[in-house]
Homo-oligomer: A and B are copies of this chain.
Amino acid sequence: MAEFSTPIATVDVVLLTLMSGGLAVVLAVRERPPFAERLALPGGYIHVDRDDDTAATARRVLAAKAGLDAPHLEQLYTFSGGVRDPRGWSLSVAYYALVPAGRLDRVPGLEAVPAAPVVVVPVDALPQLPFDHGAIVKAAVDRVRSKSAYSSLPAFLLDGAFTLAELQDVYERVIGTRLDKASFRRKIEDQSLITPIPGARRGGAHRPAQLYRLSSPTLTSFSRAL
Interchain CA distance A6-B49 in the complex, whole Å? 10
Q: How many residues of A contact B (CB 8 A)?
A: 30
Is the beta-carbon distance between B75 and A54 smaller than 8 angstroms? Answer: no
Instruction: Please indicate the chain B residues that have their CB under 8 angstroms from the CB of A87 in the complex.
Output: 1
> Is the pair A7, B81 in contact by a Cβ cutoff of 8 Å?
no
> Closest 10 A-B residue pairs measured CB to CB?
A48-B89, A53-B81, A54-B80, A53-B80, A78-B78, A78-B93, A7-B9, A6-B6, A6-B9, A2-B45
Let me know if A20 is at the binding interface, CB within 8 A: no
Q: CB of A180 within 8 A of chain B?
A: no
What is A's interface to B at a CB cutoff of 8 Å? 1-2, 4-9, 45-49, 52-54, 75, 77-78, 80-82, 87-89, 91, 93, 223-225
- Cα distance, A77 to B80, chains bound together (Å): 13
Contact among B48, B89, B225 for A7, CB-based, below 8 A: B48
Whether B48 pairs with A82 at a CB distance below 8 angstroms is yes
* Complex-state Cα separation, A13 to B167, whole angstroms: 40
**Which of B4, B48, B54 is the one whose CB lies under 8 Å from A78?**
B54
How far apart sit A1 and B45, CA to CA, in the bound complex (Å)?
A: 10
CB pair B52 A81 closer than 8 Å: yes
CB of B9 within 8 A of CB of A48, answer: no
Given the complex, which residues of B lie within 8 Å of A88, measured CB to CB? 1, 48
Known contacts A80-B93, A91-B54, A93-B80; decide if A4 and B49 are in contact (CB<8 Å). yes
Are B9 and A91 in contact, CB atoms less than 8 angstroms apart?
yes
Closest Cβ of chain B to A33, distance in Å, is 12
Contacts of A75 in B (CB 8 A): 77-78
